[in-house]
Amino acid sequence: MPSKRIENATDLAMSMTKLYTSALTQPMKAWSHSMTASQQMLSSLTGNTAIEPEKGDKRFRDPVWTTNPAYHALMQSYLAWSNAITGWVDSLDAAPRDKLRAKLATSLITDGLAPTNAILTNPAAMQKTLEQGGKNIVSGLQHFISDMIQNGGLPSVVDKSKFEVGGNLGTTPGKVVYSEDHLELIQYTPKTAQVWSRPVFVVPPQINKFYIWDLAPDRSIVGNLLDQGHQVFIVSWRNPTEAEADWDLDSYVAALDRATEVACEISGSPDLNVVGACSGGITSALLVALWASRGSDRAASLTLFVAILDVAGAKDTSMGLFANFETLELARMFSQSKGVLEGKDLERAFAWLRPNDLIWSYWVNNYLMGKEPSAFDILYWNADTTNLPAALHGDLLGMLESGGFTGETGPTIDGQALTLKQITCDAYIMGGETDHITPWDGTYLTRNGLGGDSTFVLSQSGHIQSLINPPGNPKARYQTNDGDHDSPESFLAGAETHEGTWWPHGVAWLDERGGRKVTAKKTLGSRKHKAISDAPGTYVRAAS
């Protein structure tokens, strides 16, 4: 890719033309794969094939798919067909990036045509229909109509009636100690008599609500930090409407700057440990770099969770593969016309990045089986979306166009040109092994651009569950590498695997940078910034 770091429509058209040309000039490859698939389909009719679904594919877990000859043949035929298409794309003489695009496009078709998605070819749905005399179909139709009207045409993924923010989510005691147009700042009640003098200041993503950090008490990152003697402040962003369309990146970083001043004043600490996740990681890094450009040392450390600051790290994601100047301009025009990029639109876009997990599995559960969606706190939070102001959306797209923090021009905040090199405080970076939104190897690239020391940790899960990873999960593990490494490959080559969650590792890292132990204050806020209301505050309750 040229130095501009992102393609335009001409680049995309040329690469896709090369792919089509490769496909048309190599018909024997298509013929070969179709013949292989045909042979496997014929063999499946006699039970002589044993094609296994990919690891992690939950669609064919019902034992009927292997014990019933007819369903087994159907599954084998489908897998042979879909594998043939993937194998054909792999065999073409085309650039790897073009192949990834083609695989993404073809997988949307093959996933949608899976036999598990139709009632007659799904054994569990057929059994349910026979057992209930078709009542599941009636319930499924009711769910379908409701989702068409109330959920933008996508299957509901969670039973929202089971959750309430402030009721069974976001319940850790605390107070709103500062409020302005962009945000509320929450200070949590210490749980220990002695606390670290340097507070932890958490910056959630602007595209979601903050209580992902404070789900149920046994799954709360905030609660875990308080248990370990840390003072915790967290930002709760306002859910913007059309009236806030002009809120840009500068204004968000300025709001964070003011909120950190409040946290320092209340805690009595001149500096703090800044923690940001996803897009909150981007604004956190901008804030720390801005401080550096002004000669301020307010940042004692910077922690980044599942955040990509180098656009090169996102180029092979499902979104990055089709991002070019023209599509970004269309996206910018779309949000400008409405004043905001609505959270529901983002939710739909993210769902189509993982259709088997976030669309088709609920299609089967809600419509074919006639069941209610499950009650899962993370999915409730994911569906409780927020909007992005058009100006902020445009600025984030601008960063993408210019290469992010490592582009030729770099971002400019408050008139200051910023670079990662300006961030010289210690940094802790965590990526998720199966993250489909911010791939871990993309998050790793941040490490090479920073101006100070950094620690990289690889958690075993995806974008959210790598973060919400409380102790007690027997499948949890993470990797570290204390040796020299400068690439994702060299990190893995010397990595040590640890059983359990990375939470104790991260807290221990913060402990080392927590300052000294002081007596915890009994009253939240200060004379200058008195408590305004109880946590979780009011901004978090605003619906999109």
Q: From the CA atom positions of the chain, what is the Rg in Å?
A: 25
Residue 278 bears catalytic tag? yes
Helix (H) or strand (E) holding 449: helix 440-449
Give residue 200's identity as a one-letter amino acid code: V
Residues 6+ positions from 426 with CB-CB distance below 8 Å: 300, 301, 302, 452, 453, 454, 455, 513
* CA distance linking residue 294 with residue 256, whole number of Å: 15
Residues 6+ positions from 484 with CB-CB distance below 8 Å: 490
Closest alpha carbon to 446 in 406, 484, 411:
406
Written as six digits, the tokens of 108 are 């949307």
Written as six digits, the tokens of 213 are 């950090």
Residues 6+ positions from 315 with CB-CB distance below 8 Å: 1, 97, 321
DSSP symbols for 92-130: SSS-HHHHHHHHHHHHHHHHHT-GGGSSTT-HHHHHHHH
Phi, psi of 417 (to 5 degrees): -75, 125
* CA distance linking residue 136 with residue 218, whole number of Å: 35
Closest alpha carbon to 506 in 451, 423, 430, 431:
430
- 133 close to 375: Cβ distance less than 8 angstroms: no
* CA distance linking residue 264 with residue 200, whole number of Å: 10
Mapped onto helix, strand or coil, the DSSP state of residue 201 is strand
Distances in Å between the Cα of 538 and the Cα atoms of 175, 178, 210, 262, 531 are: 11, 12, 12, 19, 13
Closest alpha carbon to 428 in 497, 516, 500, 512:
512
Give residue 501's identity as a one-letter amino acid code: T
* CA distance linking residue 245 with residue 337, whole number of Å: 10
- 19 close to 92: Cβ distance less than 8 angstroms: yes
Closest alpha carbon to 340 in 77, 523, 542, 160:
542
Selecting among 202, 207, 278, 311, the annotated active-site residue is 278
- 290 close to 413: Cβ distance less than 8 angstroms: yes
Catalytic residue list: 278
